[in-house]
C-alpha cells in the first residue's frame, strides 16, 4: 500500500493501471501516452516527481523511470535536470510538413520552396545530357571513382557558402534530411542527447524520434543560441553534439553573428562535441558569413542542401565531413541511400561548374526580393521577421491567439501556414507565431491572394 494518502493531494496526473498487465512499465507508458494524446495531460504540464508517483501507485521507482523513459524517447516528455519532467509542447504537433496530397483549396504558404525559375534551365541541361552517346550510364549505379569531378563542383558550392574544404572530405546524400538522419544514425545511440535551438527544423525532429535520439533545447540570447547555455549543456545535460542552422534559421529567420560562431566552435572543441551545421539557406545572402565549420573543421559536419537554392527535386546534398567521422557517416549514408542518383548528381555538378549556377542563384534572389516586397506591403502593420532575400518569414501574431490556432484559422479561410508548435522542442514554450512561405505560391498573384486573406485575419485579431 502507498505510504501516504493522496485523496486530497494535488497531483497533476493520477493514472489508474491494471497491474496484471505485464510488463507494468509498458502499461504505465501506454496510459501516459494516451492521456497526452487525448488531452488529459496538456503540453507544458509538469508531471509528479517519480518517487511521488511510485508511492501513489505502490510501484518500484525503477518502473516509473522506465515508463517515463519510453515516453521521453517518443518525444512526448521532456526532462530537465533540477526542473522536473514536463509534457512536451511538441508532443501533439505534426512535424511532417509536406502532406501526401496538396489540398487543392489551399494556397500553399507553409512549405519552404524556392520559386520555379530554375526548372527550365535544368530541363535544357538534362536534355543535353540525354542526347550524349553514352547517356545510358546516368541510369546505372554510381561509383565513387566516377564522382571525383562532381566533388570538385561540391567544393565550389560549399566555398560559395563560406567554407573551404577538400575533396577527401566530401560525401553525397539524397538531400539534407537524409544527411541529417545518417549523421545521427552513425554518431548516436538510442537515448543519446543532442542540443538544438528551442524552435528547430521539423525534419531533424522526425529523424531524431525515429532513432530514439533526444533533443535538448538550449536557451537563446538575442535570438541566437547562447554559448553560455551551450557550455552549461555540455557540462550538465550529457549532450553529444548540437544541430545549428546559422544562416537564416528555420523557422525564426535569425542569422548567427560571426562572433557567436567562433565562440560556439571553440566550446565544441573544448568539450569534444560534434556540430551538425545545416547550410540549407547559406546561399540566400549575397555575401554569406564564414561557416561555423571554418572555425572548427574537425568538429563540424557541414551539410549543403540544394533543395532551397536550386530545386527541391534534385534530392542532393553535399556533406563535408571531418576525418574522424567520415567512415561511420559514409557507411550510414550507404545503408540509407545505397547511392545517390548518377543522373541528378551529374546534372547538379554541370549546373554548378557552368555559369548557370550563379545565374540561377541570382534569378532566385531577384524573384524572392520582388515577392518579399509584396509581403511587406500587406503585412506592414505586423511584426514579420526576415530579410528580403528570405524564402520564408516568421510572423509574430497579435492578441492572444496561438500559432496552432492561427494555422487552423488560416486553413479554414484557404491559406496554409505553419505554426510555431510544429517547430518547438521539448518543454520550450512555442512563440505565438507562424512561418509564412514567400515562394511556395506558384505566382505573385496567388501570393497576393494569400496575403490578402492573412491580412484580413490579422486585422480581425487586433
| 149 shares its domain with 297 | yes
Q: Does 66 fall in a domain?
A: yes
Residue 4 pLDDT: 53
Instruction: Work out how many domains the chain is built from and give that number.
Output: 3
Q: Would you say 280 and 303 are in contact if contact means Cβ atoms under 8 Å apart? A: yes
| Beta strand pairing call for 214-217 and 193-196 | parallel
> Is there a single domain that holds both residue 398 and residue 261?
no
Q: Backbone phi, then psi, for 435, in 5-degree steps?
A: -90, 130
Q: How many CB atoms lie within 10 A of CB 163?
A: 23
320, 354, 388 - which closes a domain: 354
| Whether residue 190 sits in one domain with residue 263 | yes
| Same-domain check for residues 312 and 365 | no
Q: Residues 341, 365: one domain?
A: no
Final residue before a domain boundary, out of 305, 333, 354 = 354
Both 144 and 266 in one domain: the answer is yes
Nearest of 455, 461, 278 to residue 377 by alpha carbon: 455
Q: For the domain that residue 61 is a member of, what is the CATH number?
A: 1.10.10.10
- Alpha-carbon distance 67 to 57, whole Å? 13
| Claim to verify: residue 388 and residue 325 sit in the same structural domain | no
Query: Residue 264 is part of a domain; what is its CATH number?
Result: 3.40.640.10
Sign of CA dihedral 179, 181, 186, 188: positive
- 54/65 Cα distance (integer angstroms): 9
What pLDDT is recorded for position 1?
43
Residue 144 CB partners (closer than 8 Å, separation 6+): none
Q: Taking a C-beta distance cutoff of 8 angstroms, is the pair 437, 114 a contact?
A: no
The mean pLDDT values, 10 residues at a time, for the chain of 462 residues are 54 85 89 85 86 90 90 80 78 56 77 80 86 82 68 90 93 93 96 95 91 92 94 95 96 96 98 97 84 97 90 88 96 83 87 83 90 97 95 96 94 95 87 96 95 97 88
> Does any domain span residue 452?
yes
Residue 101 lies in a domain: no
Instruction: Using CB atoms within 10 Å of the CB of residue 457, give its burial: 0 to 12 exposed, 13 to 18 middle, 19+ buried.
Output: middle
- 174 and 305 in a common domain: yes
Identify whether 6 is part of a domain.
no
Mind spelling out the 3-state secondary structure of the chain? CCCCCCCCCCCCCCCCCCCCCCCHHHHHHHHHHHHHHCCCCCCCCECCCHHHHHHHHCCCHHHHHHHHHHHHHCCCEEEECCCEEEECCCCCCCCCCCCCCCCCCCEECCCCCCCHHHHHHHHHHHHHHHCCCCHHHHHCCCCHHHHHHHHHHHHHHHHHCCCCCCHHHEEEECCHHHHHHHHHHHHCCCCCEEEECCECCHHHHHHHHHCCCEEEECCEECCEECHHHHHHHHHHCCEEEEEECCCCCCCCCCCCCHHHHHHHHHHHHHCCCEEEEECCCCCCCCCCCCCHHHCCCCCEEEEEECCCCCCHHHCCEEEECCHHHHHHHHHHHHHHHCCCCHHHHHHHHHHHHCCHHHHHHHHHHHHHHHHHHHHHHHCCCCCEECCCCCCEEEEECCCCCCHHHHHHHHHHCCEECEEHHHCECCCCCCCCEEEEECCCCCCHHHHHHHHHHHHHHHHHHC
Domain boundary among 354, 387, 412: 354
pLDDT given for residue 261 in this prediction: 97
Question: 427 lies in which domain range?
Answer: 107-113+358-461
Q: What is the per-residue burial (b if ≥16 Cβ within 10 Å, else e) of 346-368? A: bbbbbbbeeebbeebbebbbebb
Please give the pLDDT value at position 220. 93
Residue among 246, 231, 181 at smallest CA distance from 210: 181
pLDDT at residue 167 in the model: 93
> Which three three-digit cell numbers place residue 121?
534551365
Cell numbers representing residue 376 in the block: 511587406
In a domain, 121, yes or no: no
Residue 196 lies in a domain: yes
**Do 166 and 303 fall within a single domain?**
yes
C-alpha cell at 321: 565531413
63 close to 103: Cβ distance less than 8 angstroms: no
Residue 96 domain-assigned (yes or no) = no
What would you measure as the largest C-alpha separation in the chain, in angstroms? 84
Whether residue 313 is found in the same domain as residue 365: no
In a domain, 1, yes or no: no
Considering the domain architecture, whether residues 312 and 296 belong to the same structural domain is answered as yes
For residue 364, what is the domain's CATH number?
Answer: 3.90.1150.10
Angle between the 50-57 and 61-73 helix axes, to the nearest 10 degrees? 120
Q: Which of 386, 371, 383, 373 is nearest to 443 (CA)?
A: 371
Rounded CA Rg of the chain = 24
Q: Within this chain, do residues 408 and 261 fall inside the same structural domain, yes or no?
A: no
Instruction: Calculate helix-pair angle for 342-353, 119-130, nearest 10 degrees.
Output: 110
Amino acid at each position: 500500500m502507498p505510504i501516504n494518502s493522496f485523496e486530497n493531494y494535488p497531483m497533476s496526473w493520477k493514472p489508474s493501471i491494471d497491474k496484471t498487465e505485464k510488463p507494468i512499465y509498458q502499461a504505465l507508458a501506454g496510459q501516459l501516452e494516451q492521456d497526452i494524446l487525448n488531452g488529459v495531460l496538456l503540453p507544458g504540464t509538469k508531471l509528479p516527481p517519480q518517487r511521488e508517483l511510485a508511492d501513489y501507485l505502490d510501484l518500484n521507482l525503477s518502473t516509473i523511470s522506465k515508463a517515463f523513459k519510453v515516453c521521453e524517447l517518443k518525444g512526448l516528455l521532456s526532462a530537465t535536470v533540477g526542473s522536473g519532467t514536463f509534457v512536451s509542447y511538441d508532443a501533439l504537433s505534426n512535424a511532417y510538413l509536406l502532406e501526401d496530397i496538396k489540398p487543392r483549396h489551399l494556397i500553399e504558404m507553409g512549405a519552404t520552396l524556392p520559386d520555379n525559375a530554375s526548372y527550365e534551365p535544368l530541363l535544357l541541361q538534362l536534355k543535353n545530357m540525354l542526347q550524349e552517346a553514352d547517356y545510358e550510364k546516368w541510369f546505372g549505379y554510381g561509383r565513387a571513382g566516377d564522382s571525383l569531378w562532381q566533388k570538385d563542383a561540391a567544393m565550389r558550392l560549399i566555398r560559395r557558402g563560406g567554407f573551404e574544404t577538400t575533396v577527401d572530405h566530401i560525401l553525397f546524400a539524397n538531400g539534407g534530411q537524409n544527411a541529417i538522419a545518417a549523421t545521427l544514425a552513425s554518431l548516436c545511440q538510442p537515448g543519446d542527447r543532442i542540443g538544438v535551438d528551442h524552435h528547430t527544423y521539423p525534419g531533424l525532429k522526425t529523424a531524431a524520434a525515429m532513432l530514439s535520439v533526444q533533443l535538448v533545447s538550449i536557451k537563446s540570447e538575442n535570438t541566437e543560441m547562447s554559448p553560455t547555455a551551450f557550455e552549461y549543456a555540455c557540462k550538465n545535460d550529457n549532450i553529444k553534439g548540437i544541430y545549428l542552422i546559422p544562416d537564416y534559421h528555420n523557422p525564426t529567420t535569425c542569422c548567427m553573428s560571426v562572433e557567436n560562431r567562433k565562440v560556439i566552435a571553440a566550446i565544441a572543441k573544448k568539450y569534444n562535441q560534434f556540430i551538425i551545421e545545416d547550410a540549407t539557406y547559406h546561399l540566400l545572402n549575397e555575401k554569406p558569413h564564414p561557416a561555423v565549420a571554418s572555425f572548427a573543421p574537425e568538429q563540424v559536419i557541414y551539410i549543403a542542401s540544394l533543395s532551397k537554392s536550386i530545386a527541391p527535386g534534385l534530392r542532393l546534398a553535399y556533406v563535408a565531413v571531418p576525418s574522424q567521422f567520415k567512415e561511420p557517416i559514409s557507411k550510414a549514408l550507404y545503408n540509407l541511400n545505397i547511392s545517390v542518383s548518377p543522373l541528378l548528381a551529374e546534372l547538379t555538378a554541370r549546373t554548378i561548374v557552368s555559369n548557370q549556377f550563379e545565374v540561377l542563384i541570382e534569378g532566385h534572389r531577384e524573384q524572392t526580393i520582388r515577392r518579399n516586397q509584396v509581403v511587406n506591403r500587406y503585412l506592414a502593420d505586423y511584426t514579420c521577421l526576415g530579410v528580403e532575400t528570405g524564402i520564408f518569414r516568421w510572423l509574430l501574431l497579435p492578441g492572444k491567439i496561438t500559432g496552432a490556432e492561427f494555422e487552423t484559422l488560416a486553413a479554414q479561410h484557404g491559406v496554409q501556414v505553419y505554426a510555431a508548435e510544429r517547430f518547438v522542442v521539448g518543454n520550450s514554450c512555442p512563440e505565438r507565431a507562424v512561418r509564412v512561405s514567400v515562394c511556395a505560391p506558384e505566382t505573385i498573384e496567388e501570393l497576393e491572394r494569400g496575403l490578402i486573406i492573412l491580412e484580413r485575419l490579422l486585422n480581425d485579431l487586433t
